[in-house]
């Protein structure tokens, strides 16, 4: 068995938890969680995705994505709309309230990311991102691009 200080899974999980804790502390002023921020960031790039598409992009199961969207809808950040001929499909759209704070939230997320990577050169950052994406592809059976 690998020692924890050499276990990629343990180290990635520990780093991710630390980054999430830092991000959530900074987002608390806005009443937004890290999961909600990620959902907003995805919708900012492609508004109107279905709940299923959002769940797939976030790697959340249906009950989790539904709960996150329920809270965001309650807080006036997103709205659900049926826009296709299939009544089962519910699309999620950003509200103006979400659009108004999105750039501030993005800056907070960028600051946390920069803090995590502050001692690395641009080349090292790029290499790390490529390695993390490769690990994800390997663990999910996705062929290399």
Q: Which domains does the chain have, with CATH numbers?
A: 4-102 (1.10.10.10)
Q: What is the pLDDT of residue 100?
A: 97
CA end-to-end span of the chain: 32
The pLDDT value recorded for residue 4 is: 84
Is the sign of the CA dihedral 108, 111, 116, 120 positive or negative? positive
Inter-helix orientation angle 62-74/51-58, to 10° = 110
Distance (Å, whole) CA 37 – CA 82 = 23
pLDDT in tens, the chain (145 residues): 568 888 999 999 999 999 999 999 999 999 999 999 999 999 999 999 999 999 999 988 989 999 999 999 999 999 999 877 777 888 999 999 999 999 999 999 999 999 999 999 999 999 999 999 999 899 988 887 6
Give the helix ranges, DSSP H, for the chain: 8-27, 34-45, 51-58, 62-74, 96-116, 122-140
Q: What is the pLDDT of residue 122?
A: 96
């Amino acid at each position: 068995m690998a020692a924890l200080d050499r276990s990629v899974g343990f180290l990635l999980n520990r780093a991710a938890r630390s980054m999430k804790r830092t991000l959530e502390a900074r987002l608390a002023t806005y009443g937004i969680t890290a999961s909600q921020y990620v959902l907003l960031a995805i919708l900012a790039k492609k508004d109107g995705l279905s709940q299923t598409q959002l769940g797939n992009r976030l790697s959340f199961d249906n009950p989790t994505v539904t709960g996150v969207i329920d809270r965001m809808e309650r807080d006036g950040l997103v709205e659900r709309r049926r826009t296709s001929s299939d009544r089962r499909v519910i699309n999620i759209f950003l509200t103006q309230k979400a659009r108004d704070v999105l750039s501030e939230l993005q800056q907070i997320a960028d600051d946390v990311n920069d803090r995590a990577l502050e001692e690395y050169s641009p080349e090292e950052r790029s290499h790390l991102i490529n390695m993390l994406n490769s690990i994800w592809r390997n663990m999910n059976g996705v062929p290399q691009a």
